[in-house]
Amino acid sequence: MTDPLRTELLDLALEAARRAGALLRDGRPDDLAVARTKSSPIDVVTEMDIAAEKLITGFLAEHRPGDGFLGEEGAASPGSSGVRWVIDPLDGTVNYLYGLPTWSVSIAAERDGETVVGVVAAPMRRETYRAVLGGGAHVTGPDVGERRLSCRPAAPLDQALVSTGFAYVQAVRSHQADVAQRLIPRVRDIRRGGSAAIDLCDVAAGRLDAYYERGLNPWDLAAGDLIAREAGAVTGGRPGEAASGALAIAASPGVFQPLQGLLEEFGAWHD
C-alpha cells in the first residue's frame, strides 16, 4: 500500500478500535444497564456504547481535526478534509449486555464518499480484521496469527451456510422470520450471530458462505462490506443495487446471485 493517507487512516482506525475494544472488554461493569432505547424497547444502548464512541471520536479528532464523523450513538459532523469516519462503537450491543462474546468495534474511513479503510475488532475472539481498498483483507490475532483473508470457494446454494439478522421492531422481524423460514429448506443452514460486522468478516474469512440482512445502517455495513469485498466476496443489495438499508448481501461468488434471487422472490427487501 503506497498511499500515505490510507496508511495513516488504517493505523488510526486500528489504534482507535484497539483502545475501544479494550475499554469494552475490561471496563464492562457487572451491573451494566440500559442507558436508552432506539427503535423499540428491546433495541438498546448501554453506557459502554456511549463511552466507546466518545473514546473513538476523541482519539480520531485529536489526530485529524478536519475529518467528519458518522457514529451510531450520535456523532455527526461533515468535516472539511474530505475524509469521514463511520463508526459503530459496539456492534452487537444485546450480546454485550447479556455477556455473550459476539460483539465488535467497527470503524471505516471514507474519502470523498468512498470507503477506503475498514477495521473490525472482535476482542472476545482476540481477532482484528482490516482492509484497504485495493489492498486485500487481513486478520490478526494470537490464535490466527497474521493472514490474508479469502472467502470460501463457490458452493451450491443448498450447501451454503448463511447468516442473517433481525430487526428489533416486532412487525419487521415477523416478516424477516417468514423470509428465513422459506430460505431454510434451500440452504445448508442458517445462523444468527448478532453482530453484522462480524458476520461480514466471517464471510471474508470463509467461516460463512453468505450473510444477508434488511435494516442495516451505514455504520453496520461500512467496514465489514469493504473487508468482505477485499477478501473476494460479492456484496450488494437488490438486483443492480449496492448494499443498503433495504437489503445487504455478502456471499462467495457463485452463492451471491442465486441467494439474491431467492431473497428478491421472498421479498426480503421490504417489511
- Res 42: pLDDT: 66
Q: Is residue 181 part of a domain?
A: yes
Q: Is the pLDDT of residue 134 over 90?
A: yes
Q: Is residue 110 part of a domain?
A: yes
Average pLDDT, the chain: 95
Q: Is the pLDDT of residue 1 over 60?
A: no
Q: Which of 97, 134, 143 is nearest to 115 (CA)?
A: 134
* Domain range enclosing 79: 4-148
Q: Is the pLDDT of residue 259 over 90?
A: yes
Q: Is residue 271 part of a domain?
A: no
The CATH number assigned to the domain holding 45 equals 3.30.540.10
Q: Is residue 163 part of a domain?
A: yes
Q: Within 10 A of 153 (CB to CB), how many other CB atoms are there? A: 12
- Res 43: pLDDT: 67
Q: Which of 130, 128, 153, 132 is nearest to 142 (CA)?
A: 128
Do both 14 and 134 map to the same domain?
yes
* 79 within 8 A of 67, measured Cβ to Cβ: yes
Q: What is the pLDDT of residues 189-248, one digit of tens each?
A: 999 999 999 999 999 999 999 999 999 999 999 999 999 999 999 999 999 999 999 999
Q: Is the pLDDT of residue 144 over 90?
A: yes
Q: What percentage of the chain carries pLDDT values higher than 70?
A: 99
- Res 40: pLDDT: 76
Task: Find all residues with CB under 8 Å of 169, minimum gap 6, and list them.
Answer: 39, 40, 43
- Res 16: pLDDT: 98
- Res 75: pLDDT: 84
* 15 within 8 A of 59, measured Cβ to Cβ: yes
The DSSP call for residue 54 is: H
* 64 within 8 A of 50, measured Cβ to Cβ: no
Do both 64 and 85 map to the same domain?
yes
Q: What is the pTM of this model?
A: 0.96
Cα separation, 229 vs 113, whole angstroms = 17
Q: Is the pLDDT of residue 138 over 80?
A: yes
Cα separation, 125 vs 123, whole angstroms = 5
Do both 107 and 193 map to the same domain?
no
Q: What is the pLDDT of residues 94-117, one digit of tens each?
A: 999 999 999 999 999 999 999 999
Instruction: Name the helix (H) or strand (E) containing 50.
Output: helix 47-63
DSSP one-letter string for 132-163: ETTS-EEEEETTTEEEE--PPPP--GGG-EEE
The CATH number assigned to the domain holding 188 equals 3.40.190.80
3-state secondary structure of 218: helix
Q: How many domains does the chain have?
A: 2
